[in-house]
Amino acid sequence: MAAQEAVEHKYVYGFSEGNKELKGLLGGKGANLAEMTNLGLPVPPGFTITTEACKAYLATGQEPDGLAGQIEAYLESLERGMGRRLGDPGDPLLVSVRSGAKFSMPGMMETVLNVGLNDRSVVGLSAQAGGNDRFAWDSYRRLIQMFGKTVCEVPGEEFEHALDETKRAKGTQNDLDLDADDLRGLVGAYKKIFAKHTGREFPQAPREQLDLAIRAVFESWNAERAVLYRRQERIPADLGTAVNVVAMVFGNLGPDSGTGVAFTRDPGSGAQGIYGDYLANAQGEDVVAGIRNTVPLQELEQLDKKSYDELLGIMARLEEHYRDLCDIEFTIERGKLWMLQTRVGKRTAAAAFVIAGQLIDEGLIDLDEALHRVNGAQLAQLMFPRFQLEHDFEPVARGIGASPGAASGTVVFTSARAVELAGEGKSVILVRRETNPDDLNGMIAAQGILTSRGGKTSHAAVVARGMGKTCVSGADAIEVNVPAKRFTVGGRTVTEGDVVSIDGTTGKVYLGEVPVMPSEVVQYFEGSLDPEHIDNALVRAVHRIMTHADTRRRLAVRTNADTAADAARARRFGAQGIGLCRTEHMFLGDRRELVERLILARSDTDRQSSLAALLPLQRDDFVKIFREMDGLPVTVRLIDPPLHEFLPPLEQLAVNVAVAQERGEDVAKEEALLAAVRRMHEENPMLGLRGVRLGLVIPGLFAMQVRAIAEAAVRVTREGADARPEIMVPLVGAVQELETVRAEAEKIIAEVVGDSGVEVLIGTMIEVPRAALTAGQIAEAAQFFSFGTNDLTQMGWGFSRDDVEGAFFWRYLELGIFGISPFESIDRDGVGRLVRIAAEEGRAARPDLKLGVCGEHGGDPESVHFFHEVGLDYVSCSPFRVPVARLEAGRAVVETDGSDSR
């Protein structure tokens, strides 16, 4: 048997051994330093200790075998390269030790600079710096301070205090006034502080300094602030950080030295040009600390033209190489430029689109790549009005950002008042504890909605998102008192007529008016900005990328719309049909009385007469919608909510009856209503008499709706348009339910449609887990399925969709049980599995079964990718999310199936 030689794991990479693709192993900083080194750019020599070494250390509390030897070897080669040795008393090499994880976590982990200085090499450093004693002692005191604080947990204030003392004794407030002797004295004081807190002298052995600093960087991965940051940014906890050990270069050696940061384009707007700041005679941390003011990078041209020109050349080269906006950090040491860092730079949503557009023009990327580089969340951000100058205002409360955007307006507490003031041309914010279907008119009239209860799928949230209206829900610091027309928050009282501003993205609530700007991107989707003829780089880029997404995507995008106005807007936004028209809204407002009559009907005749009165009203609603959606499919869902939701609340009725009785008034009607409400009361209405169950229990109800749909379709077709109705039955759990409804519907349709040529499809929602699991049977009776992922999530998890988000999801998020609410983004493993099973089994039973989704997830970027993968035919979402879904459906193709258009 051949002798097995133990192969030592490689934990250290020299910069010339890595490249930008190795971010997982070398961290972002290390991978990019390697990339720049390989490009031949002036990077100080160094090496990277891998994230694997960090993970091994964190798992065992010990450096893994082999690491120490590899560090030694790379250190030696670094020393050779620089012609200096770490700790050499005559001509010392100093190194920086910096963290660098796969995903940037700015300022969250540790850095130690000037490693290698001790009581002897400080003298050598001074000689290196041309006899600059001040510089050498300043570097040494910075090492003790940084090392003490980050490696040995010495309280930072003690060092600050000693520095202040030295300045006070000198009679100055400026660090720069301290001379070499002052700083030498400060080093003595710092060493005492170090010894007092650690029980040992400041380590003089450079290699010990290095090893302890590396260890501290490893450990900083689990520092509290880093853990918190990762949770917030959804960065996995098990990646670990790499550690970069780099030869120090100094920007604080005199006026011909300095340090700066720069972007290759404006990360705010995407505009081309050089953006950056420079600080002469300074190190990076001085820039961060804001001790002195930086100057615009352009001024470097006057100070040091050679370095400036070289820097510009490097920036152009980096852009071309990364084919993207890069940000960089650099230092100039006595006229010699050094690149300390680069990475693909963060940018605003607008800049992301603008830059992608520019890079296509410059031939650096193709359209698929451009599509890959933007995302639906950015597009959504661009579609909402936003506050100018928000930072000038202090929020008084914070709720859930339930529907993005920014709105300012006069506070009102009732729907009626909202309508009234809006009629006078005022901008209003409707404030409620929570909203219900009766608030609809007020919500339409309002600029924004603020509630003190409810989560992201509360009534207020869902309806507001549907309308593209700003909404903050669940701002529980607010005490709403509707009868008194006021709310209180943090000891302040806001009454009707006062102005508030709400930010539906951040959930922040402000008192007073914060100025709002409309979205140009919406103006473009609305058709009022022509991308070919306006000088607006953002709108042109959005147009170009959206057009490409449309050519690439396989998923169709429909909209959830209950009114002709919403349907029309969604169509302008690119909707290819209606995937969900909820008919319950058509039972409110002036029809409430008829609905009450229907509910209270004592005889068949009574019931039939109220249904007959509702029929033409429903038919007119559908006529308007079919006209708007001429040529496109319209899925109309039969009534879903429990009927008692259409009656006034029990408490209110009971009070009315009692008061009226007291006055001796005729209360027969109220009493009947009260009795009905009591009779129909359900402990769990979401699991009660709703959806298809209503159709099976209340004779004639579904029949009326089916007739209204068919008659409307026939009328619109006779007018010359193309109506394509699809009737959808909600809450089906068993095929027999659907078969029963279907048999009755088919009869009515056949009778109404006659030879008009109208074709009406009949399908079902899949929103009860049992339906998903028996989809093969249900498909026998359905021409289409539409996944109601709101209810499927509610029933799949057993989470009440109206309560849980505000009640305890924060704890679930904190514990990492899920990273995002499953009501917001589909839970792939559980609820998603139900969707997958139903899609597969449904299609197996009926190959031409049409599959769509109409729950809130239809407009969520992550979920759209999932629905693409599962092979659905379409997603349906609120009008404002239609462009987002179009974009993400295109991105899903480019990302899942790979690009083939290059």
Binding site for Mg ion (CB under 5 A): 767, 788, 791
> Residue 373, interface with ligand PEP (CB under 6 A)?
no
C-alpha distances out from residue 442 to 285, 436, 744, Å: 54, 11, 37
Closer residue to ligand PEP in complex, CB, 137/787: 787
> Residue 465, interface with ligand PEP (CB under 6 A)?
no
Residue given tokens 């359209």 in the structure block: 367
Which of ligand PEP, Mg ion, none does residue 46 bind (CB under 5 to 8 Å by kind)? none
> Residue 561, interface with ligand PEP (CB under 6 A)?
no
From CA 514, how far away is CA 677, in angstroms rounded?
Answer: 44
Which of 326, 459, 581, 877 is labelled catalytic?
459
From CA 791, how far away is CA 771, in angstroms rounded?
Answer: 12
Residue 641 CB, shortest distance to Mg ion, in Å, is: 9
C-alpha distances out from residue 412 to 123, 295, 483, 498, Å: 73, 49, 11, 9
The amino acid present at 85, given as its one-letter code, is R
From CA 385, how far away is CA 544, in angstroms rounded?
Answer: 22
Helix 537-552 and helix 882-896, axial crossing angle in degrees, nearest 10:
60
Which of ligand PEP, Mg ion, none does residue 406 bind (CB under 5 to 8 Å by kind)? none
Closer residue to ligand PEP in complex, CB, 266/434: 434
Closest by Cα among 261, 266, 305, 319 to 286: 261
Torsion-angle region of 463 (φ positive above 0: left; ψ -120 to 50: alpha; else: beta): alpha
Closer residue to ligand PEP in complex, CB, 348/790: 790
Residue 795 CB, shortest distance to ligand PEP, in Å, is: 9
Closer residue to Mg ion in complex, CB, 623/771: 771
> Residue 436, interface with ligand PEP (CB under 6 A)?
no
Closer residue to ligand PEP in complex, CB, 529/765: 765
Please identify which residue in 692, 854, 864, 882 interacts with ligand PEP, judged by CB under 6 A: 854
Residue 397 CB, shortest distance to Mg ion, in Å, is: 31
> Residue 788, interface with ligand PEP (CB under 6 A)?
yes
From CA 835, how far away is CA 857, in angstroms rounded?
Answer: 12
Residue 474 CB, shortest distance to Mg ion, in Å, is: 21
- From the list 106-114, 465-473, 775-783, 785-793, the region that binds ligand PEP by CB under 6 A is 785-793
Residue 606 CB, shortest distance to ligand PEP, in Å, is: 29
Helix 592-600 and helix 604-628, axial crossing angle in degrees, nearest 10:
140
Q: CB count, 10 Å around CB of 211? A: 18
Residue 767 CB, shortest distance to Mg ion, in Å, is: 5
* Dihedral Cα 415, 420, 421, 427, nearest 10 deg: 60
> Residue 640, interface with ligand PEP (CB under 6 A)?
yes
Please identify which residue in 45, 855, 859, 879 interacts with ligand PEP, judged by CB under 6 A: 855
What's the token pair of residue 643?
């009927």
- From the list 5-13, 65-73, 232-240, 787-795, the region that binds ligand PEP by CB under 6 A is 787-795
Pairing outcome for strands 85-86 and 92-93: parallel
Closer residue to ligand PEP in complex, CB, 269/790: 790
Residue given tokens 């229907």 in the structure block: 598
Which of ligand PEP, Mg ion, none does residue 574 bind (CB under 5 to 8 Å by kind)? none
Residue 745 CB, shortest distance to ligand PEP, in Å, is: 19
Which of ligand PEP, Mg ion, none does residue 855 bind (CB under 5 to 8 Å by kind)? ligand PEP
Residue 850 CB, shortest distance to ligand PEP, in Å, is: 16
Please identify which residue in 790, 820, 845, 899 interacts with ligand PEP, judged by CB under 6 A: 790
From CA 261, how far away is CA 715, in angstroms rounded?
Answer: 67
Size of the site for ligand PEP (CB under 6 A): 10
The amino acid present at 477, given as its one-letter code, is A
Please identify which residue in 145, 241, 789, 821 interacts with ligand PEP, judged by CB under 6 A: 789
Answer for the pair 111, 96: CB distance below 8 angstroms, yes or no. yes
DSSP-derived secondary structure letter, 677: H
Residue 380 CB, shortest distance to ligand PEP, in Å, is: 20
Which of Mg ion, ligand PEP, none does residue 523 bind (CB under 5 to 8 Å by kind)? none
> Residue 282, interface with ligand PEP (CB under 6 A)?
no
Closer residue to Mg ion in complex, CB, 395/685: 685
Residue 855 CB, shortest distance to ligand PEP, in Å, is: 3
* b/e sequence 868-894, b meaning 16+ C-beta within 10 Å: bebebbbbbbbbbbbbbbbbbbbbbbb
- From the list 22-30, 484-492, 671-679, 784-792, the region that binds ligand PEP by CB under 6 A is 784-792
From CA 468, how far away is CA 54, in angstroms rounded?
Answer: 46
Task: Using CB atoms within 10 Å of the CB of residue 173, give its burial: 0 to 12 exposed, 13 to 18 middle, 19+ buried.
Answer: exposed
C-alpha distances out from residue 669 to 127, 588, 652, 655, Å: 100, 19, 14, 14
Closer residue to ligand PEP in complex, CB, 767/888: 767
Q: φ, ψ for residue 236 (rounded to 5)?
A: -55, 145
Strand, coil or helix: what is 473? strand
Reply yes or no on whether 543 is catalytic: no
> Residue 800, interface with ligand PEP (CB under 6 A)?
no
Please identify which residue in 138, 628, 791, 888 interacts with ligand PEP, judged by CB under 6 A: 791
> Residue 133, interface with ligand PEP (CB under 6 A)?
no
From CA 689, how far away is CA 641, in angstroms rounded?
Answer: 8
> Residue 821, interface with ligand PEP (CB under 6 A)?
no
> Residue 733, interface with ligand PEP (CB under 6 A)?
no
From CA 427, how far away is CA 507, in angstroms rounded?
Answer: 19
Residue 446 CB, shortest distance to Mg ion, in Å, is: 25
Closer residue to ligand PEP in complex, CB, 92/642: 642
Q: What is the separation of C-alpha 679 from the centre of its chain, rounded to a whole number of angstroms? A: 45
Which of 54, 326, 471, 854 is labelled catalytic?
854
From CA 705, how far away is CA 741, in angstroms rounded?
Answer: 12
Mask for 579-618, x = binds ligand PEP (CB under 6 A): -x-x------------------------------------
Closer residue to ligand PEP in complex, CB, 300/443: 443
Alpha carbons within 13 A on the beta-carbon side of 66: 12
- From the list 60-68, 349-357, 658-666, 782-790, the region that binds ligand PEP by CB under 6 A is 782-790
Residue 794 CB, shortest distance to ligand PEP, in Å, is: 7
Closer residue to Mg ion in complex, CB, 272/790: 790
Which of Mg ion, ligand PEP, none does residue 789 bind (CB under 5 to 8 Å by kind)? ligand PEP
755: which residues sit within 8 A by CB, 6+ positions away? none
Reply yes or no on whether 459 is catalytic: yes
Question: DSSP for 859-895?
Answer: G-HHHHHHHHHHT-SEEEE-GGGHHHHHHHHHHHHHH
Closer residue to Mg ion in complex, CB, 520/791: 791
DSSP-derived secondary structure letter, 222: T
Q: φ, ψ for residue 560 (rounded to 5)?
A: -95, 115
Which of Mg ion, ligand PEP, none does residue 381 bind (CB under 5 to 8 Å by kind)? none
Closer residue to Mg ion in complex, CB, 670/767: 767
Q: To which H or E segment does residue 687 belong? A: none
> Residue 769, interface with ligand PEP (CB under 6 A)?
no
Closest by Cα among 405, 414, 406, 457 to 432: 414
Closest by Cα among 395, 341, 437, 58 to 214: 58
What's the token pair of residue 361?
């023009």
Residue given tokens 């929103």 in the structure block: 767
> Residue 767, interface with ligand PEP (CB under 6 A)?
yes
Residue 788 CB, shortest distance to Mg ion, in Å, is: 4
Cβ-closest position to Mg ion:
791
Q: Could you list the active site residues?
A: 459, 854
Residues near ligand PEP (CB under 6 A): 580, 582, 640, 767, 788-791, 854-855
